[in-house]
């Protein structure tokens, strides 16, 4: 009997065993992307990427050169990064708060509020390229200091985008409650304020993070783009543009690298905060 | 009277109309204020009727063309490329999601990078892509394609993954081939998700295209916008472009919603039935609407 079982139970092929073992799966999930990344960087460093895109090392410098230059102009890079981060951060914060408040007001006006949010959502679809110059014009009288007023105008653009995003998502969080949750509250004879604090507010938290997942990268992108139109020359985005106009492509690439790193780091940070905050509710 | 008002307040079109009127009122109030206090009110906040007047006046602003002609000619160049790039990006995105569904290795290899692209400010790359391609038209196309590529790819993949196990089991009991599995289950399931991706991508493609215009003078919308801003032509051209691009950005996702309704089976039939019989709209259309509403915010997929 034993003999026969062994006969049927053939050894699986190595591929089959790899795809079935959970350990190998875990290794694969990490190794494959890393291998792909190394491949791309190697192609880039080996100038094969340049041949593919029909370009040269002047326009697309190799990674080692980019990092070499970054080391040389660290002070300038940090200064510009701070400017961009300030715009994106303040805009995101104020915009998210305003968006949330709008959502709260809309949730108290169930009929008219929804239509209002449709309009708010439309703001998110307005091209930044059209919004930024308008904001520049509107903030001309805020201050005599060009650096300050152009910063305000950039913040306003970011704020509008972030608020639209947060408003839509928070409204969903405040109104799309679990079935019977409102009925339960009614049986407790809970006041409106109580319902809001105990039910709607916690329910909206995951939605707040859904909104932030979109608006964190979006606010960085908006800050960078609105710098293109700003009066005062500062920030990562403006440096990218100015250096390309001057044909200083390698310096532009330094700022592009920084922009990408900001995007990735801030998103990772958001993920950490999310797991910390939402853990309490799970 | 009161019940009519309540009925009106529940209608979506009325709500949108109401808030639009409120916005217009706020704008006009602001414009009146600006007109009284500022030296050059047209730069900051002109009255809406002044913008409309500029749109319909026969006055030539540049090169023997009226303001509307200038804007339309520029938008043809800009939006044409944006649309082409959008189509290319959407196609590439769908193909990649398809490949990722077919092969787990490809998915594991590329998916983290797909997430990374979302975090990279691609619009910040506009100048460098212009430098690499060297041609404003192809760089418009490339950037619009990149920007529309990732929402489509991630959403479509989420659609492929949303297929319930029951459906796989059912197909297994039918002894369905892999090809049929895709044709009958996976692809139909992915379509609503695909459209969600498109809805996110469309305004981005428009924004990207306008932005690339401002980098090089080649008669696109963005180019005219910066010229008008520097008073190379009437400032009303600037306002026309602002409103026009806002309209295009908003309208692009509505347009895709309509296309989605057109290709969704049963919805058109239902609409016709609704028109002819009135209240007896079938359940199918409504059901679909519900499904779409649930998936409105694709970024939650991330």
Q: How many domains does chain B have?
A: 3
Task: Write down the pLDDT at residue A8.
Answer: 61
Task: Write down the pLDDT at residue A53.
Answer: 76
What's the DSSP call for residue A177?
Answer: P
B41 and B25 together in one domain: yes
Q: Nearest-CA residue of chain A relative to B127?
A: A241
Q: Cα separation of B126 and A261, whole Å?
A: 17
Q: Cα separation of A136 and A226, whole Å?
A: 9
Beta-carbon contacts of A1 under 8 Å, excluding residues fewer than 6 positions away, are none
Using CB atoms, pick whichever of B121, B241, B302 lies closest to residue A224.
Answer: B121
Are B127 and A213 a contacting pair at CB < 8 A?
no
Q: Is residue B56 part of a domain?
A: no
Q: In angstroms, what CA-CA distances link B140 with B98, B195, B218?
A: 26, 22, 12
- Give the start-end residues of each E strand in chain B: 60-62, 65-66
B16 and B162 together in one domain: no
Provide the CATH number for the domain around residue B242: 1.10.3720.10
Residue that is written with structure tokens 């010229």 in the block: B227
Mean per-residue pLDDT, A151-158: 92
Q: Cα separation of B207 and B197, whole Å?
A: 16
B17 and B160 together in one domain: no
Tell me the per-residue pLDDT of A21-74, one tens digit each, with 9 for 90 and over: 777 777 877 788 888 888 888 888 888 878 877 777 887 888 888 888 888 888
Interface ipTM: 0.74
Tell me the per-residue pLDDT of A200-218, one tens digit each, with 9 for 90 and over: 888 898 899 989 988 898 8
pLDDT of residue B286 exceeding 70: no
Task: Write down the pLDDT at residue B290.
Answer: 47
Contact B50, B42 (CB under 8 A): yes
B108 and B134 together in one domain: yes
Which of chain B's residues have a Cβ under 8 Å away from the Cβ of A60?
Answer: 128, 132
Q: How confident is the model at residue A11 (pLDDT cuts 50, 70, 90)?
A: low
- Cβ of A185: how many Cβ atoms within 10 Å? 18
Q: How confident is the model at residue A9 (pLDDT cuts 50, 70, 90)?
A: low
Q: CA of B253, closest CA in chain A: separation in Å?
A: 8
Domain that holds residue B20: 2-45
Q: What is this structure's pTM?
A: 0.80
Q: CA of A220, closest CA in chain B: separation in Å?
A: 7
Are A225 and B214 a contacting pair at CB < 8 A?
no
Q: How confident is the model at residue A3 (pLDDT cuts 50, 70, 90)?
A: low
Are B225 and A60 a contacting pair at CB < 8 A?
no
Which of chain B's residues have a Cβ under 8 Å away from the Cβ of A231?
Answer: none
B194 and B251 together in one domain: yes
Using CB atoms, pick whichever of B110, B122, B229 lies closest to residue A36.
Answer: B110
Are B44 and A137 a contacting pair at CB < 8 A?
yes
Task: Write down the pLDDT at residue B214.
Answer: 77
Q: How confident is the model at residue A158 (pLDDT cuts 50, 70, 90)?
A: very high
Q: Is residue B20 part of a domain?
A: yes
Q: Is residue B276 part of a domain?
A: yes
Mean per-residue pLDDT, A10-23: 71
Q: Give percent of chain A above pLDDT 90.
A: 16
Q: Considering the domain delimited by A64-279, tell me its CATH architecture.
A: Orthogonal Bundle (1.10)
Using CB atoms, pick whichever of A29, A125, A266 lies closest to residue B253.
Answer: A125
Which of chain A's residues have a Cβ under 8 Å away from the Cβ of B6?
Answer: 111
> Would you call B61 helix, strand, or coil by DSSP?
strand
pLDDT of residue B125 exceeding 50: yes
Tell me the per-residue pLDDT of B68-119, one tens digit each, with 9 for 90 and over: 888 888 888 888 888 898 999 999 999 999 998 888 788 888 888 887 777 7
Q: Cα separation of A31 and B108, whole Å?
A: 9
B20 and B115 together in one domain: no
pLDDT of residue A189 exceeding 80: yes
Q: In angstroms, what CA-CA distances link A216 with B2, B37, B299?
A: 44, 37, 12
Task: Write down the pLDDT at residue B299.
Answer: 43
Q: Cα separation of A256 and A70, whole Å?
A: 11
Chain-centre distance of CA A244, in angstroms?
Answer: 25
Domain boundaries, chain A: 14-45, 64-279
- β-partners of residue B65 are B62
B232 and B283 together in one domain: no
pLDDT of residue B67 exceeding 80: no
B235 and B125 together in one domain: yes
Q: Give percent of chain B above pLDDT 90.
A: 6
Write down the H helix ranges in chain B: 2-10, 12-37, 41-44, 48-56, 67-102, 104-119, 126-133, 136-161, 165-173, 178-180, 187-215, 221-229, 235-263, 267-277, 283-294
Tell me the per-residue pLDDT of B244-281, one tens digit each, with 9 for 90 and over: 888 888 888 888 888 888 888 777 777 777 777 544 44
B199 and B68 together in one domain: yes
Q: CA of B111, closest CA in chain A: separation in Å?
A: 8
Q: CA of B250, closest CA in chain A: separation in Å?
A: 5
Beta-carbon contacts of B233 under 8 Å, excluding residues fewer than 6 positions away, are B61, B62, B70, B224, B227
Are A240 and B127 a contacting pair at CB < 8 A?
yes
Tell me the per-residue pLDDT of A244-256, one tens digit each, with 9 for 90 and over: 878 888 888 898 8
Q: Is residue B52 part of a domain?
A: no
The DSSP result for B122-174, as a single string, is GGGGHHHHHHHH--HHHHHHHHHHHHHHHHHHHHHHHHHHT--HHHHHHHHHT
Are B120 and A214 a contacting pair at CB < 8 A?
no
Which of chain B's residues have a Cβ under 8 Å away from the Cβ of A51?
Answer: none
> Chain A interface, mutation test: which of B121, B142, B225, most A Cβ atoms within 10 Å?
B121
Beta-carbon contacts of A90 under 8 Å, excluding residues fewer than 6 positions away, are A155, A158
Are B113 and A213 a contacting pair at CB < 8 A?
no
Which of chain A's residues have a Cβ under 8 Å away from the Cβ of B127?
Answer: 240-241, 244, 252
Q: Nearest-CA residue of chain B relative to A55?
A: B132
Using CB atoms, pick whichever of A55, A119, A267 lies closest to residue B119.
Answer: A267
B220 and B245 together in one domain: yes
The DSSP result for A64-85, as a single string, is HHHHHHHHHTHHHHHHHHHHHH
B285 and B252 together in one domain: no
Q: Cα separation of B140 and B80, whole Å?
A: 10
Tell me the per-residue pLDDT of A85-131, one tens digit each, with 9 for 90 and over: 999 999 999 999 999 999 998 888 877 777 777 777 777 777 888 88
> Would you call B60 helix, strand, or coil by DSSP?
strand
Tell me the per-residue pLDDT of B2-22, one tens digit each, with 9 for 90 and over: 777 777 777 777 878 888 888
> Which helix (H) or strand (E) covers residue A178, if one does?
none
Q: Is residue B81 part of a domain?
A: yes
B185 and B36 together in one domain: no
Contact B154, B201 (CB under 8 A): no
Mean per-residue pLDDT, A132-148: 82
Token pair of B44, please?
Answer: 């900051």
Mean per-residue pLDDT, B268-297: 55
pLDDT of residue B135 exceeding 80: no
Are A259 and B120 a contacting pair at CB < 8 A?
yes
Are B15 and A116 a contacting pair at CB < 8 A?
yes
Mean per-residue pLDDT, B146-169: 87
Task: Write down the pLDDT at residue A10.
Answer: 62
Residue A205's Cβ-side half-sphere holds a number of Cα atoms within 13 Å equal to 17
Mean per-residue pLDDT, A75-94: 93
Are B109 and A129 a contacting pair at CB < 8 A?
no
């Amino acid at each position: 009997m034993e003999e026969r079982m062994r006969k049927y139970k053939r050894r699986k092929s190595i591929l089959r065993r790899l795809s079935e073992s959970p350990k190998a799966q875990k290794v694969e999930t990490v190794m494959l992307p890393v291998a792909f990344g190394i491949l791309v960087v190697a192609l880039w460093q080996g100038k094969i990427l340049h041949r593919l895109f029909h370009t040269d090392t002047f326009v697309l410098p190799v990674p080692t050169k980019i990092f070499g230059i970054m080391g040389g102009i660290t002070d300038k890079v940090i200064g510009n990064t701070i400017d961009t981060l300030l715009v994106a951060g303040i805009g995101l914060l104020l915009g998210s708060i305003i968006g949330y408040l709008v959502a709260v007001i809309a949730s108290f006006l169930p009929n008219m509020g929804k239509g209002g949010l449709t309009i708010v959502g439309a703001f998110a679809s307005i091209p930044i390229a059209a919004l930024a110059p308008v904001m520049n014009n509107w903030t001309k009288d805020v201050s005599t200091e060009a650096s300050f007023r152009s910063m305000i105008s950039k913040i306003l653009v970011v704020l509008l985008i972030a608020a639209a995003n947060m408003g839509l998502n928070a409204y969903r969080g405040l109104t799309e409650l679990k079935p019977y949750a409102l009925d339960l509250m009614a049986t407790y004879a809970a006041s409106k304020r109580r319902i809001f604090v105990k039910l709607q507010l916690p329910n909206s938290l995951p939605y707040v993070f859904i909104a932030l997942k979109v608006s964190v990268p979006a606010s960085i992108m908006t800050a960078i783009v609105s710098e293109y139109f700003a009066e005062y020359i500062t920030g990562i985005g403006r440096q990218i543009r100015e250096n390309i106009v001057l044909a200083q492509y390698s310096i532009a690439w330094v700022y592009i690298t920084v922009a990408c790193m900001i995007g990735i780091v801030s998103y990772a940070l958001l993920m950490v905060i999310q797991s910390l905050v939402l853990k309490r509710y799970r | 009277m009161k019940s009519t008002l309540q009925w009106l307040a529940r209608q979506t079109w009325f709500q949108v109309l109401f808030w639009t009127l409120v916005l217009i009122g706020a704008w006009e109030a602001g414009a009146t204020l600006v007109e009284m206090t500022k030296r050059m009110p047209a730069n900051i906040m002109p009255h809406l009727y002044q913008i409309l007047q500029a749109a319909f006046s026969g006055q030539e602003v540049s090169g023997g063309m009226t303001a509307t002609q200038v804007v339309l000619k520029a938008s043809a160049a800009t939006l044409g490329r944006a649309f082409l790039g959008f189509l290319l990006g959407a196609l590439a995105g769908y193909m990649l999601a398809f490949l990722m569904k077919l092969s787990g290795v490809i998915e594991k290899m590329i998916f983290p990078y797909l997430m990374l692209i979302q975090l990279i400010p691609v619009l910040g790359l506009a100048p460098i892509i212009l430098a690499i391609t060297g041609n404003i038209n192809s760089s418009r196309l490339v950037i619009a394609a990149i920007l529309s590529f990732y929402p489509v790819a991630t959403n479509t993949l989420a659609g492929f993954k949303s297929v319930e196990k029951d459906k796989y089991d059912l197909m297994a009991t039918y002894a369905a081939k892999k090809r049929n599995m895709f044709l009958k289950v996976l692809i139909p399931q992915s379509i609503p998700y695909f459209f969600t991706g498109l809805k996110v991508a469309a305004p981005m493609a428009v924004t990207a295209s306008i932005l690339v215009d401002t980098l090089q003078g080649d008669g696109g919308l963005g180019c005219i916008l910066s010229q008008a801003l520097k008073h190379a032509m009437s400032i009303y051209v600037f306002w026309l472009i602002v409103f026009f691009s806002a309209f295009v950005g908003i309208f692009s996702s509505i347009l895709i919603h309509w296309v989605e309704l057109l290709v969704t089976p049963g919805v058109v039939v239902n609409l016709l039935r609704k028109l002819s019989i009135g209240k007896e709209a079938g359940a199918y259309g409504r059901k679909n609407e519900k499904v779409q509403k649930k998936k409105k915010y694709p970024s939650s997929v991330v």
